Amino acid sequence: MNALQETTLAKRESSQPVLITLHPVLAIFGVLCGALTSVLTGQLLSVGLADVQGAIGASSDEMSWVSTCFNTATMFIGPLTVMFGALFGPRRILLWASAIFMLAEFMSPLVAHNVGALMVAQTVAGLAAGTYYPLTLTVLMRNFPLKYLPFGIATYALDILATLHTGTALESWYMSHLSWQWIFWNALLIAPLLIAFVTFGIPAQPMPKRDSRLNMWGFLYASVSFSLLYCALDQGERLDWFHSGTIVALFATSILLAIAGLVRHVRQPHPMFNMAFLRTRDFIILGAVLVCFRFLILGPTLLLPRFLALVHGYRPDQTGPVLAWIALPVFASAIAAGAALYRVDSRLLCAIGFATVGLTCLASSHLDPGWTGETFVVTQLIDGIGLSLALVGLVATILGKAVSLGALQNPINILTISCWFQTCRLFGAEAGKSFLLHFLKVQGDLHSTILGQHINGNWVTDEQVKQYAALSFSAGSGIGDATSRAVIELSKSLKQQVGLLSISDGFVLISICAATCLLFIGFLSYSPPLVPRGKS
């Protein structure tokens, strides 16, 4: 162990010894439940929105705002979590947030027939759930004994990936065996566990001393700005982006508030947010990598279900089992990656993971209409392993860089980092999804135009129409009706081909994004490992 690493570890152990948990296993499960609750609730709501809509008889426009309210509230609370965490301590915030979250999710189905009341309930739930991700990352850095930290990181990464893959299957199980209310009441099964693990796994600490310079206006400017931007991204594709006055207003107001928040911070720096700590090359690069990583997840969670629905008519309850089993190899590879952190540079894990994802997405881009869910078994197995290696390595690199820069010497630095990467995570997910959906639409229009130019007036097309018409005519249809049916069948075939080509382009785009992540990782500087190499 070199001198810099020894100094870093000594500071970590001496700065806050009373905060190190005596129950690391319970703390690990607390981290697990925290991230699980936040990610799984959003995933269930997204997947089950159509089922809730059918149950309460709401319009699709109304229901689209329900998920937007939850996710926007999650974004809103991120910057404010820095202030609340510094004022009251992460343990208190997690306990209070869990109680509020359970109450809001319990009430949601009861008021669901009034869509406005459902939006309010989901906004409250989002405000509570939005504290979990940044504060559980804070707990990892402040409360874990170093020898357990790699497995805490693995648990944290596993939680996010496994939830994204199992959310669809869980929602379909709820609809088949229970009812649509359990899309919301699922929180009642997890949040009590979180409360128990936080209570017994994270040590109590005295109330932090209040700073007389405390002012929440800067945090409010940032929170509202991020929330409006997130809302614009979430609704942009549905409302046709800048052709909608609502989207233009959201973007414009977000920019103005961001400028106001920045000016205020420059003139009156807030004591509970260390902007200078984030202005390092490595943190900027890691933020960009995290945004890109959220884009990589869209391969198995968006493109694959879209392909199966387009070609084979898979419903969500059929797509769920295709994705759910991926959680098993993800579990094994995440634990293995956590163990590897004792001996391997976390940047190397990132590189291996991103390279693996890029290659599997490139292989998946060679789509064929004959492929079924079983065809993707091998590629999705490898892709799941690659994603878990990449995320474990990425989180470890973030924490290692934070420790090397002295984050553990000041709790404000830890909360600042957690807030920054929570913002990058949420924006990466929403911006990536919005961009990919728009990309698929543009590529679909392009392929439709090109294919249309080749089939119009083509003798091969005329022959196919005649063959379809002959089949329909022999089945008893008149010649006019038979020809109309033939044209409809040909249009369906063209639409499917256009969809296949655009999805293939989407997989290629994700592989390019993975290559970009590899390039970013190459620019990261070395940081001492969190745990001495070769020791556990």
pLDDT digits (tens, 9 = 90+) for 194-215: 888 878 777 777 666 665 556 6
Q: CB-side exposure of 63: number of CA atoms within 13 Å?
A: 18
Number of alpha helices (DSSP H) and beta strands (DSSP E) in the chain: 22, 0
End-to-end CA distance of the chain, in Å?
13
How many whole angstroms separate alpha carbon 142 and alpha carbon 40?
Answer: 25
Residue whose C-alpha is closest to residue 330's, from 507, 514, 154: 154
Residues 460 and 352 in one domain: no
Q: Is residue 536 part of a domain?
A: no
Whether the Cβ atoms of residue 115 and residue 14 lie closer than 8 Å to each other: no
Q: Which of 270, 288, 315 is the last residue of a domain?
A: 270
Averaged pLDDT, 111-132: 87
Averaged pLDDT, 421-444: 84
DSSP one-letter string for 433-467: HHHHHHHHHHHHHHHHHHHHHHHTT-HHHHHHHHH
Averaged pLDDT, 346-361: 90
Say which CATH number the domain at 153 has: 1.20.1250.20
Higher pLDDT among residues 529 and 497, named by residue: 497
Q: Is residue 533 part of a domain?
A: no
Residues 474 and 360 in one domain: no
Higher pLDDT among residues 111 and 404, named by residue: 111
pLDDT score recorded for residue 514: 92
pLDDT score recorded for residue 512: 92
What's CA 515's distance to the chain center, in Å? 20
Q: Is residue 429 part of a domain?
A: yes
Sign of the alpha-carbon dihedral angle for 137, 267, 291, 38:
positive
Written in H, E and C, the secondary structure of 273-309 is CCHHHHCCHHHHHHHHHHHHHHHHCHHHHHHHHHHHH
Weakest mean pLDDT among 15-19, 151-155, 417-421, 424-428 = 15-19
Residues 47 and 87 in one domain: yes
Residues 36 and 119 in one domain: yes
Sign of the alpha-carbon dihedral angle for 391, 385, 333, 30:
positive
Share of the chain above pLDDT 70, in %: 74
Q: CB-side exposure of 104: number of CA atoms within 13 Å?
A: 23
Averaged pLDDT, 404-418: 72
pLDDT of residue 384 exceeding 80, the answer is yes
pLDDT score recorded for residue 208: 61
- pLDDT tens for each residue of 134-176: 777 676 666 666 677 777 777 777 766 767 667 777 877 888 7
Q: Is residue 58 part of a domain?
A: yes
Averaged pLDDT, 305-330: 74
pLDDT of residue 367 exceeding 90, the answer is no
Q: Is residue 158 part of a domain?
A: yes
Output the six-digit token pair for 490: 């040909």
Domain containing 282 equals 3-204+274-445+501-522
Averaged pLDDT, 59-85: 81
Angle at 387 (CA atoms; ends 346, 429), nearest 5 degrees: 105
Residues 423 and 454 in one domain: no
Q: Is residue 527 part of a domain?
A: no
Residues 384 and 235 in one domain: no
How many whole angstroms separate alpha carbon 338 and alpha carbon 62?
Answer: 43
Residues 136 and 258 in one domain: no
Share of the chain above pLDDT 90, in %: 5
How many whole angstroms separate alpha carbon 351 and alpha carbon 349?
Answer: 5
Please state, as a whole number, how many other Cβ atoms lie within 10 Å of the Cβ of residue 269: 13
Q: Is residue 290 part of a domain?
A: yes
User: What domain count does the chain have?
Assistant: 3
Total-model pTM: 0.80
Residue whose C-alpha is closest to residue 365's, from 519, 512, 161, 496: 512
Checking 407-412 for CB contacts under 8 A at 24+ apart, the result is 407/141, 407/277, 408/8, 408/11, 408/12, 408/15, 408/16, 408/141, 408/142, 409/11, 409/15, 410/274, 411/16, 411/85, 411/86, 411/142, 411/208, 412/82, 412/86, 412/271, 412/272, 412/273, 412/274
Burial 461-478 (b: 16+ CB within 10 A, else e): eeebbeebbeebbeeebe
Residues 338 and 405 in one domain: yes
Burial 6-26 (b: 16+ CB within 10 A, else e): eebbeebeeeeeebbbeebeb
Whether the Cβ atoms of residue 312 and residue 363 lie closer than 8 Å to each other: no
Residues 378 and 485 in one domain: no
Residues 178 and 294 in one domain: yes
Residue whose C-alpha is closest to residue 149's, from 16, 28, 11: 28
Q: Is residue 27 part of a domain?
A: yes
pLDDT score recorded for residue 507: 92
Residues 121 and 36 in one domain: yes
Residues 67 and 191 in one domain: yes
